[in-house]
Amino acid sequence: MTDLADRPLAADSVGLLEGLTTTRSIRRYADEPIPDGALRDILFAATRAPSGSNRQNFRFIVLTDGPVATEAKAIIGRTARQAWDHKRANEGYDEGSGATPDSPKARMARSMERYVEEIEKVPALVLPCLIRHRRPTSTEGASVYPACQNLLLAARALGYGGVLTIWHALVEDELRQLLELPDEAAIAATVTLGKPEGNHGPVRRVPLDQLVYSGTWGDAPEWAVDPPGTRFTRAGPPPAPAS
Amino acid sequence: MTDLADRPLAADSVGLLEGLTTTRSIRRYADEPIPDGALRDILFAATRAPSGSNRQNFRFIVLTDGPVATEAKAIIGRTARQAWDHKRANEGYDEGSGATPDSPKARMARSMERYVEEIEKVPALVLPCLIRHRRPTSTEGASVYPACQNLLLAARALGYGGVLTIWHALVEDELRQLLELPDEAAIAATVTLGKPEGNHGPVRRVPLDQLVYSGTWGDAPEWAVDPPGTRFTRAGPPPAPAS
């Protein structure tokens, strides 16, 4: 691996603003590993993100193959399938427009179904962690989620893709034991990465003037105008049917 | 402003991986406003970030000029100066190597001193907010800090820069009242943006093998090797002197 010390980061083929505005969550991966050089570049970019007082209190556990990775993926697989079954039932994914195969709701359900069914096969499972220096707070994520976003954007830059989840939430104790986490480290996210299978599709959001205000709450500035070609969606998850 | 509806996002001059690995916190700004078109592009990119179930429960209050913005900047200025004075004394910025004018510690202190002294003059003060749909958690930031990172990276893409802070923490009630925040909205960060004055300087971190593990905690993978030319620093804040 000494050659990586001499190897610069990959050359860019995607622009910065382009990458920021077109990177979306990828849940379907080709069955091929991510080469070490790409993992190096992705994790290097992740760890260039800012953190409070530049404490760099983020750590990334990158699980690809071998017995520990296999066991961690199995733990995440079990809990992900349970959590998705629960969400599917509670958030009405099979009701209303969900009964129509081509509706956004039904497509989302199919995508999630396949994702959780095959999650043990993801090329890389990454567990970003935060080393706490004080009691948990709702703003502590400011020191780890910017790095998670860099991770996902860097994956995109190198031809990969991923999605940030909190699948670990119900099995954190089991993972902590397997991975020998020290008491002060908390798992902040569960990220899966791989080569996208199929197309990316557009990023969809609500109109910009619903998300950006100037002055008091709700007052959109005149410049909050979506650029031409913007694709929209309602804020998720899909609403339960009225009936 | 109708012209912005016909105006595409700015063309890229920075690559995606390049932007991710070289964007650093900017605390010194030229005294010039950010044009509406640049603000639109920056906020559009911020709001393309992922959020849990694509709920898009992030909102951005962008404060530039006018009475509400002026008052918000004054509130942040007062608390930032108090918080920095406290931090400077408690974390030993003026002791040990801090007494040597060219030390990293002394340079950091000078940069922070000027930043908080002039914070009322920042071209744009942005308060990213999170609309909660459940009680506060330590992972809720996964739905707002990725968007904050997109905001900072998009600023870079357009020739601007900024820094993410939590200056609002001690004055959130005052800001909530001024900005008429609804009960379910929490201020997640205080970001300042502007045109950088002077050079950016390198991004410095600890070596990659201290931040990335493979399998159990502390086991760095063979590929965790910094690319040539990487600049390093200890994890901040500067340690207090031993004496």
Distance CA A191, CA A189 (A): 6
A198 touches chain B (CB under 8 A): no
Structural contact between residues A80 and A171, judged by C-beta atoms closer than 8 angstroms: no
Give the mutation candidate from B6, B17, B90, B148 for the A interface (greatest A CB count, under 10 A). Answer: B17
* CB-side neighbour CA atoms (13 Å) of A158: 28
> What residues of chain A, 114 to 143, have a C-beta less than 8 Å from chain B?
136-142
pLDDT at B2: 54
Structure tokens at B87: 């931090």
Residue given tokens 């002197």 in the structure block: B241
* pLDDT tens digits for range A127-137: 999 999 899 99
Q: Which of residues 221-240 of B touch A (CB under 8 A)?
A: 221-230, 233, 235-237
The answer to whether the CB atoms of B139 and A139 lie below 8 A apart is no
Residue A25 CA, distance from chain mean position: 6
Quick one: closest CA in A to B39, which residue? A223
Q: Which chain A residues touch B61 with a CB distance below 8 Å?
A: 213-215, 217
* Residue of A136, A212, A228 with shortest CB distance to B5: A228
Do A148 and A48 meet the contact criterion of CB atoms below 8 Å apart? no
User: Does an H or E element contain B163, and which?
Assistant: strand B161-165
Cβ separation A56–B188 shorter than 8 A: no
Query: Considering only alpha carbons, which residue of chain B is nearest residue A84?
Result: B53
pLDDT in tens, chain B (243 residues): 559 999 999 999 999 999 999 999 999 999 999 999 999 999 999 999 999 989 999 999 999 999 999 999 999 999 999 999 999 998 888 888 888 888 878 888 899 999 999 999 999 999 999 999 899 999 999 999 999 999 999 999 999 999 999 999 999 999 999 999 999 999 999 999 999 997 777 899 999 999 999 999 999 999 999 999 999 998 877 655 554
- Its ipTM equals 0.96
Task: Say whether A50 and B156 touch across the interface (CB within 8 A).
Answer: no
Q: How far is B61 from chain A (nearest CA, A)?
A: 5
Q: Could you tell me the domains of chain B?
A: 3-201 (3.40.109.10), 204-243 (no CATH)
Residues of B in contact with A9 (CB under 8 A): 17-18, 21, 227
Side chain identity, residue A60: F
Q: Which of residues 4-33 of B touch A (CB under 8 A)?
A: 4-25
Give the list of residues 6+ apart from residue A84 with CB closer than 8 angstroms, or none.
A112, A113, A116
Does A142 sit within 8 Å of B148, measured CB to CB?
yes
Tell me: the pLDDT tens digits for B32-74?
999 999 999 999 999 999 999 899 999 999 999 999 999 999 9
DSSP per-residue letters across B53-74: GG---EEEEEE-SSHHHHHHHH
Tell me how many degrees the CA angle B92-A186-A44 measures, rounded to the nearest 5. 75
What does pLDDT average to in each consecutive run of 10 residues of chain A (243 residues)? 87 98 95 98 98 95 98 98 93 84 84 95 98 94 98 98 96 98 98 90 93 97 97 77 48
pTM above 0.90, yes or no: yes
pLDDT tens digits along B1-25:
559 999 999 999 999 999 999 999 9
